[in-house]
Amino acid sequence: MTEWQRVCELEALVPDRGAAALVGGHQVALFRLSDSGEVHAVDHLDPFSQANVMARGLVGSRKGVPTVASPMHKQSFDLRTGQCLDDPEVSLQVWPTRVADGWVEVQVVARSRAA
């Protein structure tokens, strides 16, 4: 079943700066890119440090790939796929997003994570 959760107005997201959100009990990091206008959502949990900080990372690009770098120890992740670009074994979960009526919505999906 797909369920979309309304999170915030698009205008509440500063371009190229992340924001954390609570979506269905999960901590999600939202990014609105200045050039493409796209909104991406990935885990807020940094898999390396186990701290909820990804939304506070710097947005950028690597060889054209839109990225966010963990503010803790600077590993970069592909914002579109969640893949860590510095370690092929690690990735962030990606959450589908859409903008409806000026509101950002995130699809609530079951989280698959083994501890």
Partner 1 sequence: MMNQKKKLAVVGAGMVAHRLVEAMVERGADEAWDIEVFGDETRPPYDRVALTSFFSDRDPEDLLLGDGELWKRPGVRLYRGSIVSGIDREAKQIHARNTTFDYDRLVLATGSYATVPPVEGSDLPGCFVYRTVDDVAELRAWVLDREAVLGRKVKGAVVGGGLLGLEAAGALTALGADTTVVEFADWLMPLQVDQAGGGALRRIIEQLGVSVRTSTATSKLRAGRDGKVTRMQFADGDKIPADVVVFATGVRPRDELAREAGLELGERGGVLADEACLTSDDSIFAIGEVAHIAGRVWGLVGPGYSMAEVVADRLLGGDATFEGADLSTKLKLLGVDVASFGDAFAATNGSLEVVYADPTAGVYKKLVMSDDAQTLLGGMLVGDASAYTNLRPMVGRALGSDPTAWLLPEGMEPPSGSSLPDDANVCSCNNVTAGTIRGAVTDHQCTDIAAVKQCTKAGTSCGSCVSLVKKLMETQMAEEGLEVSTALCEHFSVTRAQLFDIVRVSEISTFSELIEKHGTGRGCDICRPVVASILGSLGKGHVLEGENATLQDTNDHVMANLQKDGTYSVVPRIPGGEVTPAGLIAIGQVASDFGLYTKITGGQRIDLFGARIEQLPEIWKRLVDAGFESGHAYGKSLRTVKSCVGQSWCRYGVQDSTTLAIDLELRYRGLRSPHKLKLAVSGCARECAEARGKDVGIIATDKGWNLYVGGNGGFTPRHAQLFAEDLSTEELVRAIDRFLMYYIRTADRLQRTAPWLESIEGGIDAVRAVVFDDSLGIAADLDAAMAAHVDTYEDEWAATLADEKKLLRFASFVNAPETPDPDLVYVEERGQRRPADDEERAVLIAGASIPVRDAEVTV
Judged by the rule CB under 8 A, the positions of this chain that interact with partner 1 are 7-8, 12-17, 19-22, 27, 30, 33-35, 45, 49, 51-53, 56-64, 66-67, 69, 71-72, 74, 76, 111, 113-115
For residues 18 and 43, give the distance between their C-alpha atoms in angstroms, rounded to a whole number.
12
Coil, strand or helix at 10: helix
Tokens, residue 22? 């609570």
Min separation Cβ 95 and partner 1, Å: 14
Task: Answer yes or no: are the C-beta atoms of 75 and 84 closer than 8 Å.
Answer: yes
34 versus 96: smaller Cβ distance to partner 1: 34
Task: Answer yes or no: are the C-beta atoms of 78 and 86 closer than 8 Å.
Answer: no
Min separation Cβ 25 and partner 1, Å: 9
For residues 90 and 35, give the distance between their C-alpha atoms in angstroms, rounded to a whole number.
27
88 versus 113: smaller Cβ distance to partner 1: 113
Min separation Cβ 101 and partner 1, Å: 16
